[in-house]
Amino acid sequence: MAANGVRFVELRSSVLYLATLQKCSPTQALERLIESTRDAAERQNIRRGLILTVTRGDYGATALTALLQAYQDLGEPDDVVGLDLAGDEEMSYPAQLPSLFREAKDRFGLGITIHAGETGRAENVRSAIELFGTDRIGHGTAASKVPELMDLLAKEDVCVEVCPISNRLTGAVSSEEAHPLQEFRRHGVPFVICSDNPGIHQRGLVDDHSAAMAEGLSVGDLRHQFQVAKRYSFIEGLA
């Protein structure tokens, strides 16, 4: 990130998965994550916030409860700025999960971002907005084919996290079609260019910016992206 000129970043992490790998409690895993990323961020002069990820599935509500308990056990640290729902969009989740996300948002002031509309289920974008009260949408590519959803995103001022490289690699946007970021812009939907799984893809934010330019964004658009990113970030106090 430092090599890519990143000055602030939000890192998604599955703390429950880390706890399983490290054979420790969720509280211990979250504490280690906070300490290690804080140390690295300070050394690289990068502001960072952590987003805690819950995976779709029958145990989503239980997982969220465990994460929030770990967060409270550590005194509700400012390092944690948001909650995320990810995983296979074809999987169901407990009926109470959306209300638990909204309650956490209201009680703790955490931002909400939902992976939705990446695998073709455009209605997941509507659910993220209307049921979960999301502030941002991860990917959201399928929404570009549904005008009323684009209008809803613009009306509710929900920012889409666009990952050009990942969208092509995963097939969320096929090689035969244009990337929907131009549709987002035409409909007044706010979006920010992000890097998805850079450790896996071995490509950083600069590469995603280059990919976004190949998809039609101008140099001026990319300069504006820094302001958009600050506006929709969950990290407080970004000047």
The structure tokens 């970030």 sit at 233
Q: Which of 28, 107, 40, 42 is nearest to 74 (CA)?
A: 28
Non-local (6+) Cβ contacts of 136 within 8 A are: 111, 112, 113, 114, 158, 159, 160, 161, 232
Radius of gyration of the chain (CA): 17
d(CA 36, CA 130) in angstroms, rounded, equals 36
Q: Which of 31, 118, 161, 215 is catalytic?
A: 118
Whether 118 sits among the annotated catalytic residues: the reply is yes
CB 1 within 8 Å of CB 37: no
Residues 6+ apart with CB under 8 A from 14: 53, 55
- Picking from 73, 127, 67, 121, the residue whose alpha carbon sits closest to that of residue 95 is 127
SS3 category, 48: strand
Map tokens 């035409």 to a residue: 186
**The residue type at 223:** R
> What token pair was written down for 89?
């969009």
Catalytic residues: 118
